[in-house]
Amino acid sequence: MSVLIAETPAVSPEPDRRPRRQRRWLRRFAYVNRIRHRPAAQGLDRIHGFVEQLRAARLSPGHAGASAAYALLNWLLDAACLWLCFHAVSDAPIGATQVLLAFCAGMAAGSLTVIPGGLGVIDSAMVLGLVAGGVATPTAIAAVVLYRLISFGFIIGIGWITWLAIRQRQREGEANAVRAGRSSPGARVPTSTPRHSSWFSCSGSPRSSRTGQTRSPTAC
């Protein structure tokens, strides 16, 4: 990601803008695709789209500072959740340094894994961090399991419930729209006589009863 951001000006779709850096970046990209046994330009359009999205973002210094403050607050509250989980399963004293050590170990391990939610990786790192801080192994395992149930399982459960509620509202809205369309007078489909019925009525009575002239099918 850092390489991509550093080389962002080189991926500009304008051919006359910094051509040397662009050619150098394209050669690197083609080398990566050659290792992957892919065409040289495969995936380049996705990178162009990603770079355009990065350029579309406009972050003021105030918003950047607020984002950093909120992110730091989120981490601190997450670490406080781990501290409360430890006290929920044990009466043994624990310092803030031990909690922060275990928490940072878990977050660092979670950033290196590709497993969704860092299942197993974050838990093991936190348990090892607590044990390294002097916590008994059974207590560390119980605290980490409770913490993961709250910070991971509980949040996922709320997300699924929210998604199901949104889907239910969408279905109800669609059903109400269908019922409203059926009940409105303008939504009724007018009935029309088939073309062949007028043809047979004309062909069945070739002469008019009033004029006595033969009626052609086109007159129908």
Does some domain include residue 162? no
Identify the pLDDT of residue 64.
86
Question: Is pLDDT larger for residue 80 or for residue 46?
Answer: 80
Does some domain include residue 195? no
Question: Is pLDDT larger for residue 219 or for residue 130?
Answer: 130
pLDDT digits (tens, 9 = 90+) for 11-42: 444 444 556 666 776 777 777 777 877 777 77
Total structural domains within the chain = 2
pLDDT digits (tens, 9 = 90+) for 51-97: 777 777 777 888 889 999 999 999 999 999 999 999 999 988 898 89
User: Which residues are paired to 209 by β-bridges?
Assistant: none
Report residue 165's pLDDT band, with 50, 70 and 90 as the boundaries: very high
Nearest CA-CA partner of 124 in 116, 134, 114, 137: 137
Does some domain include residue 206? no
42 shares its domain with 87: no
159 pLDDT above the threshold of 60:
yes
44 shares its domain with 74: no
Does some domain include residue 97? yes
**Alpha carbons 77 and 86: distance in angstroms, whole number:** 14
Residue 82: domain span: 70-157
Identify the pLDDT of residue 21.
66
Question: Is pLDDT larger for residue 60 or for residue 159?
Answer: 159
pLDDT digits (tens, 9 = 90+) for 93-147: 898 899 999 999 999 998 888 888 888 899 999 999 999 988 999 999 999 999 9
**Alpha carbons 11 and 27: distance in angstroms, whole number:** 12
Identify the pLDDT of residue 167.
92
**Alpha carbons 83 and 79: distance in angstroms, whole number:** 6
**Alpha carbons 12 and 22: distance in angstroms, whole number:** 8
**Alpha carbons 5 and 57: distance in angstroms, whole number:** 13
1 pLDDT above the threshold of 90:
no
42 shares its domain with 76: no
Does some domain include residue 10? yes
